[in-house]
Amino acid sequence: MTLVRISDDALALACGADAVAAAFVAASCTVERVSSWGMHWLEPLAEIDGIGFGPLFPEDVAAVLAGTSDKRIGAIADHPFIKRQQRLTFARAGKTRPLSLDDYADTGGWSALKRVKSMASPEIVAEVAHSGLRGRGGAGFPAGIKWRTVLEAQGPRKYVVCNADEGDSGTFADRMLMEGDPFQLLEGMAIAAQAVGAQQGYIYVRSEYPHAISKLNAAIELAREHIAPFRIEVRVGAGAYVCGEETALLNSIEGKRGEVRAKPPLPAHEGLFGCPTVVHNVLTLAAIPHIMVPGGASRYDSLGIDRSKGTMPIQLAGNIRHGGLFETAFGITLNELIHDIGGGTASGRPVKGVQVGGPLGAYIHPSQFDLPFDYEAYAGADALIGHGGVVVFDDRANMGALARFAFQFCAAESCGKCTPCRIGSTRGVELIDRIWAGGRDADAVEALAQMHNARKDRRSRDEDLQLLEDLCETMQFGSLCALGGFTPYPVRSALKHWPEDFT
């Protein structure tokens, strides 16, 4: 009987994978549901004896089984999109059943956790520090320093918290890993707990990820004996983007309003329930099992460039022909990612710009596409790597409208605790509207003034642009957290590279 492997990843399901699987079952095939390879433009993707076919519809099944299908893409492992990658975090992607303990153990699972149980906590922390691993959720803070701080902190209890509130535009790596390789995340959390002396862990998942929530809860039940005495619970968020900020997330877990806390104290000193807490993104914790096998820390440190070590799962999205997950060592350029790997825009039109790092990341002009994918290089260009989402826009995009959206998004998602974010974002929307209206007729200006209850005596366009710069500076340096602090990045970059879109 023919064995067919089809992903049960949420994206594959959304594209009709269940219907394709049912068609293969109706044709007397055995169907095995596995994780996704991350080649999203080919979903639903079926694999038979290592050969891939996609994207498939139920009516394609007969031709696939007859050997006459024009959807054949050849050996999946040899596909250029897969072959060019350096996969660590997603090494099992497309190859294993998400909730199979046998598959996980057969591919090296639990070996790192078994090793660290015979090590002293300072030794574990030292290896993580040696690896050069940095947080994969935003600022890239060194994981080893965070672990050492929690290990040395005094408290009645300690916690490990996984931030799985993946809300950035164009990002899906957390979801893919939770749905496709949940045991890897649990093992990483258990190793972190062993290192810092934590007994309890929480995974904070956004409510929009029902498949991930279901997979995680099932995986926790299956893995209890492996991770014991460490305990893990899944907590579901209520849809607030600001809860991706670590202190707002901790408040939410505690049952409080998702509102940012002032720092200090840092969560490493006083985090969840006032106790020392390790807070990491999904991809950071999932990298730990690869680092903690013998020689893993040195191997991880050998990848990447400068202070950006290891691999980064980069998510290609937006107007791009070959969208999906591409994991590689730091140092790759946007030119390679967008044109060589992504195949250019899906529309076939020229690329106008790319946003990296979520809705508050800078818009990067094609003249900057040789910039290496590196935390410090991006910071030097007033940009962010963030969670590694890359969203592509073609030449029809209005960058002024996208800059306005950054303010609009911030206004909608602000927790309201600090004035620069709460008020500045709203004033930003109004200000861009005034700049646009400056080149229109008097009736448009008056209508805009009435809409925003603004003055009718117009400032000059140059004065408005200077005010926009001043507003961005106030938000960047006066906001309590990165939501307000990063909103100026897309605004300033759009204004710098595409000033014509603000007229």
Residues 166 and 287 grouped into a single domain: yes
Residues 191 and 246 grouped into a single domain: yes
Indicate which CATH number applies to the domain containing 229. Answer: 3.40.50.11540
* Confidence category of residue 462, pLDDT binned at 50, 70, 90: confident
| Range 267-289 average pLDDT | 97
pLDDT in tens, 344-401: 999 999 999 999 988 889 999 999 999 999 999 998 999 999 899 999 999 999 999 9
Residues 327 and 230 grouped into a single domain: no
pLDDT at 449: 58
Name the residue among 276, 279, 254 with its Cα closest to residue 265: 276
Residues 217 and 107 grouped into a single domain: yes
pLDDT at 454: 52
Indicate which CATH number applies to the domain containing 481. Answer: 1.20.1440.230
pLDDT at 331: 95
Query: What does the block give as tokens for 176?
Result: 């893919």
pLDDT at 447: 56
Residues 418 and 366 grouped into a single domain: no
Residues 151 and 11 grouped into a single domain: no
Identify the domain boundary among 252, 285, 301. Answer: 301
pLDDT in tens, 15-40: 999 999 999 999 999 999 999 999 99
For residues 88 and 421, what is the distance between their CA atoms, to the nearest angstrom? Answer: 38
Query: What does the block give as tokens for 292?
Result: 């903690």
The partner residues of 390 in beta bridges, in order of sequence, read 316, 356
Query: What does the block give as tokens for 50?
Result: 């290592």
Indicate which CATH number applies to the domain containing 382. Answer: 3.10.20.600
Question: The tokens 């007729």 sit on which residue?
Answer: 441
pLDDT at 239: 83
For residue 89, being part of any structural domain is answered with no
Question: The tokens 């893409």 sit on which residue?
Answer: 73
For residue 449, being part of any structural domain is answered with yes
For residue 355, being part of any structural domain is answered with yes
Residues 296 and 326 grouped into a single domain: no
| Exposure letters 470-490 (e unless 16+ CB within 10 A, then b) | ebbebbbeebbbbbbbbbbbb
Residues 214 and 287 grouped into a single domain: yes
Residues 166 and 295 grouped into a single domain: yes
For residue 96, being part of any structural domain is answered with no
Of 92-106, 122-136, 388-402, 438-452, give the lowest mean pLDDT range. 438-452
For residue 95, being part of any structural domain is answered with no
Residues 161 and 232 grouped into a single domain: yes
pLDDT in tens, 408-421: 988 888 888 889 88
For residue 496, being part of any structural domain is answered with yes
pLDDT in tens, 182-226: 999 999 999 999 999 999 999 999 999 999 999 999 999 999 999
For residues 25 and 33, what is the distance between their CA atoms, to the nearest angstrom? Answer: 12
For residues 69 and 115, what is the distance between their CA atoms, to the nearest angstrom? Answer: 47
pTM over 0.95: no
Q: Report the number of distinct structural domains present in the chain.
A: 4
For residue 271, being part of any structural domain is answered with yes
**Percent residues over pLDDT 90 in the chain:** 80
- Tell me the residue range of the domain where 452 lies: 399-502
Q: How high is the mean pLDDT of the chain?
A: 93
pLDDT at 167: 87
Identify the domain boundary among 394, 413, 442. Answer: 394
Identify the domain boundary among 83, 109, 130. Answer: 83
pLDDT at 440: 47
| Range 456-465 average pLDDT | 74
For residue 162, being part of any structural domain is answered with yes
Residues 434 and 482 grouped into a single domain: yes
Q: CB within 8 A of 72, min separation 6: which ones? A: 51, 52, 53, 64
Reduced to 3 states (helix: H, G, I; strand: E, B; else coil), residue 401 is helix
Asked whether the predicted pLDDT for residue 491 surpasses 90, the reply is yes
Residues 129 and 229 grouped into a single domain: yes
Asked whether the predicted pLDDT for residue 439 surpasses 60, the reply is no
- At residue 231, φ and ψ (nearest 5 deg) are -120, 140
Indicate which CATH number applies to the domain containing 54. Answer: 3.40.30.10
pLDDT at 457: 56
